[in-house]
Amino acid sequence: MSDSTDLPVNELSKTGSGSFDANRIGELNSWLVSQFDAAGKDHVPDFEYTSRTISHLHNLATISQAKTQAATIIANDFRLKASEYRSQAARIREILENVGLAQEGLPANVVSSSQVLANVANLLNIRDTELSSFLVAMGDVSLRKTGVEDKRAKVQKESKILLDYTRKAIARLTYLKRTLSQLEDDVAPCEAQMESWKTNLAIMVSKERQYLQQYANYKAMLTRVGYTPEISHGMLVEMAEHRKDLDKKTKPILDTLRSYQDLPPDKALAALAIEDKKRQYAAAEKYLEDVLQSALATED
């Protein structure tokens, strides 16, 4: 034993960071000594008693004692069953010897067949070698075999489905890798094309500003000259067609007038025209005087 385990319980309770339960420490010391003695070691290694180590060791001791107790109960039960089986075997051997069926007096083939029968019974987990027990056990084995075959068929079906999915996934992965490789190869040309587009875009932006400025200037010019939205291209086309019609209609008249220009002037007609213009001029002056006088009268 080490010095720490040889200390009294009161002194052990004072070691560490705080005071601990003296009874629990004593139980732990006893358990550790028993465990190390069972392992063939004469002393317990030195360690410091803390709340953490005490709690951990106490849990280990509780679990170990519970398992030891359970193992002891199971071992006692097995010993009891073994003694019962030995007693039953001795009784059966005595009965067989009395009827002349001792193992030493049986042929070798009978002994081997009996051993095979016993091995099969143990394999099928039956207590006796009755035919009904073997039939029930074989039926159970058949049912289990059927269940296993069903599970195997189901697993094979699922495996086939998974294999199909795996093949499709591999094909998709191959396609994606090939696509990725193509895209990586297209990166450089696309970057060059993007740079070209970027340059062209800057030029187009400059042209757009220029065209917008020209549009504003043309719009201001049209506003100054009296252009209105009603004057559209269709209206100008209609006016041009109307002018062509007028040109067609006036052309014969102009041709006739041009033919009259070649004739000598008539003095009598010229005098009449002059007199007519004089009368029109006098009428216009009189109308103007009347308008002025009426305006003056209205102001007075």
Interval 222-236 mean pLDDT:
71
Last residue of a domain, one of 71, 105, 139: 105
Q: What pLDDT does residue 270 have?
A: 67
Residue 262 within a domain: yes
Q: What pLDDT does residue 75 have?
A: 93
Last residue of a domain, one of 105, 125, 147: 105
Within 10 A of 107 (CB to CB), how many other CB atoms are there?
8
> Would the pLDDT of 100 be above 50?
yes
Is the Cα dihedral 243, 244, 246, 250 positive or negative?
positive
203 vs 38, residue with greater confidence:
203
Query: Which structural domain, as residue segments, surrounds residue 31?
Result: 21-105
Residue 185 within a domain: no
Residue 14 within a domain: no
Interval 86-105 mean pLDDT:
79
Is residue 47 within 8 A of residue 18, CB to CB? The reply is: no
Is residue 20 within 8 A of residue 54, CB to CB? The reply is: yes
Q: What pLDDT does residue 155 have?
A: 94
Residue 273 within a domain: yes
The span from the CA of 270 to the CA of 274, in Å, is: 6
The span from the CA of 61 to the CA of 36, in Å, is: 13
Hey, which of 206-215, 232-241, 271-280 has the most confident mean pLDDT?
Answer: 206-215
Last residue of a domain, one of 55, 90, 105: 105
Residue 38 within a domain: yes
Lowest mean pLDDT among 195-199, 224-228, 286-290: 224-228
Ranges assigned E (strand) in 210-270: none
Residue 34 within a domain: yes
Say how many domains are in the chain: 2
Q: What pLDDT does residue 281 have?
A: 81
Residue 89 within a domain: yes
The span from the CA of 229 to the CA of 115, in Å, is: 119
Burial (CB < 10 A; 0-12, 13-18, 19+), residue 264, is: exposed
The span from the CA of 235 to the CA of 214, in Å, is: 24
Chain Cα centroid distance, residue 119: 58
56 vs 111, residue with greater confidence:
56
Within 10 A of 222 (CB to CB), how many other CB atoms are there?
13
Residue 37 within a domain: yes
| Structure tokens, 89 | 């075997």
CA angle 274, 257, 246 (to 5 degrees): 115
Decide: pTM greater than 0.75.
no
> Would the pLDDT of 182 be above 70?
yes
In the chain, the percentage of residues whose pLDDT exceeds 90 is 24
